[in-house]
Chains A and B, each alone.
Chain A
Amino acid sequence: MNKDRKTEIARRRFLKGLVLGAGGSAVAAVPALPRTPSGRLGKVRYGMLIDLRKCVGCQSCSVACKSEFDVPLGVSRSWVEYVEKGVYPHVGRTFLPRLCNHCSDPPCVSVCPTGATYKREQDGIVVVDDGVCIGCKYCILACPYDARFLNPVTRFADKCDFCIHRVSKGLVPSCVNTCPAGARIFGDLNDPGSQISKTMARNRVSVLRPEMGTQPNVYYIGADHTEPGNVKRHEAGEVRVVTHRRDPERR
């Protein structure tokens, strides 16, 4: 009897997983992991969801990040790109906040020769260990999102770490905290009850450069994936990307 009940539960769980999985692939990128009995999905997996319908491009996040970490001039952990397109009067401007994607399959980690860059087991945050990094810049080149830079002061690789010092104390990252539009949601993607998971389940989301196979954990609602190269298709009209970084080209 007891055994039968267990099988029944296992079967139900399996079917549920199938349904969730099918739903997940249809909406693209909504995680469909099997639920544990407590409702939690195993380990914590931190992620961010940026709702670009709310973003006003005010750069508060960029500034908050700069001051949080004293990021030197000329480099940034978090930045906002402006995408302008169209020909007057049919024009539009959208914003694309950028940061480290804390990928589930991070290319920076696999190239690091010293193990200085690694993905934390407990929460999936990709970090750089200053004590081990040699500053070879391999990870900087391997990142498809140009999220990394060589810190001109420390001479080590540097990037967004989801404000690990705040998050470990139960606070949200500085950029999330400061966003006046409430466009950023930070939380545990493995917890179906978290605000980020619930919002993702209700909306169509996308990630940057999914073809790179990195499985980013930073998601966007309403992102405009227009590239300057798209002007070759004349229906796109004019496209101009302002990176707000020292490098005027989007990388």
Chain B
Amino acid sequence: MIEELDWGLLVIGYLFLAGVGAGAILVSAFLTLGAGEFGASRFAIARYGAFIAPLPVIVGTAMLVLELGRPFRALNLFKLINLSPMSVGSWFVGVFITVSLLYALTFIPRAAGFGDRLNRARRGLAWVCLPFGFAMAVYTAILIGAMPARPFWNSPAIVLLFVLSALSGGVASVMLALAVFHKPGGNPAVAEDRDKSAHALGSADAMLLLGELAIILLFLLFAQLSIGSVREAASVIHAGGALAAPFWGFVVLLGILIPAGMEMGVIAPKLLSGKLFNSYRAVEILAPVAILIGGFALRYVVVVAGQITGPISI
């Protein structure tokens, strides 16, 4: 089925990678600007986010260019700017890659307070990264939403879903980096600080996943309450629909319910009864991997569903 479509795996991959990059830079920028309960590991986590962010966007953009009929023609995108979401988006991508690379550069010196000037540059760039991170996450959904001929996409719910999925993908990629590269060692103070950060990230991620679930339910509900093309289009992810298995199996179960359940299981004891937070390495690795697979599956299901459905009248 996928090879028959106009927008195939390369476009789906781009939408997913752009989301992860946008999410990672948002997490990093929020941390740099002082949000959340993070201790001494704040800088280290912001650093992971800053280093991760440009990579998926650059790889994804390269995939998009290769997907074009004539790759070198991609430069035509920058000869003008019009109101097409793809035109606006290509400028966002250009700015995002530039700013995120500069932002990552400011994190190369390992020490947090490496000179006042660098710190100021880092914070300044973080302020630029915030709007462009959101813009990247939002524009990918507006791009596909701008077509009334594709009823599955033509919905504001898809925008919210993509933004939340981008954020949870960003958090997941940072969590994964933290779990893999940031080992506590023997120092109990460092280990406690790291656990505090893991708890903050896990709570944020669980919230984002539950938000995604709520929007999916609203999307399905309103499609059902609608008539004609929209209801018909949404039926491809209902039980028995062409995309029911990847949607319920990979997006909802593997990508949302399982990781949300794992994270809730870890954060609940501290959240509900004030017990000491215990991190589990298995959860810290498996939950983000599941979220990232789910994030890709979400783009896959949405992009394919939009293309195999359309107006039902003639």
Contact = CB atoms under 8 A, between A and B. Distances in A.
Contacts of A9: none
A213 interface: yes
A132 interface: yes
B110 interface: no
Given A113-B90, A133-B73, A211 B313 contact: yes
Interface string A128-167: 0000111111101111101000100011100000000000
A142 B149 CA distance: 6
A107 interface: yes
B280 interface: no
A250 B148 CA distance: 17
Contacts of A208: 314
Nearest to A114: B76
A112 interface: yes
Contacts of B89: 113
Nearest to B143: A138
Contacts of B73: 133-135
Contacts of A156: 69-70
Size range of the chain A interface in the assembly: 35 or more
Given A144-B311, A209-B314, A115 B82 contact: yes
Contacts, number: 97
Interface in A70-117: 96, 107, 110-116
Interface residues of B, number: 34
B147 A111 contact: yes
Given A137-B7, A142-B149, A227 B314 contact: yes
Contacts of B42: none
B82 A135 contact: no
Contacts of A114: 76-77, 79-80, 87
B232 A113 contact: no
A213 B6 contact: no
Nearest to B81: A113
Given A113-B86, A136-B68, A150-B69, A141 B6 contact: yes
21 contacts: A107-B147, A111-B85, A111-B146, A112-B84, A113-B82, A113-B86, A113-B89, A135-B70, A136-B68, A136-B69, A136-B86, A138-B143, A141-B7, A142-B150, A143-B149, A144-B310, A155-B70, A156-B69, A156-B70, A212-B311, A225-B313
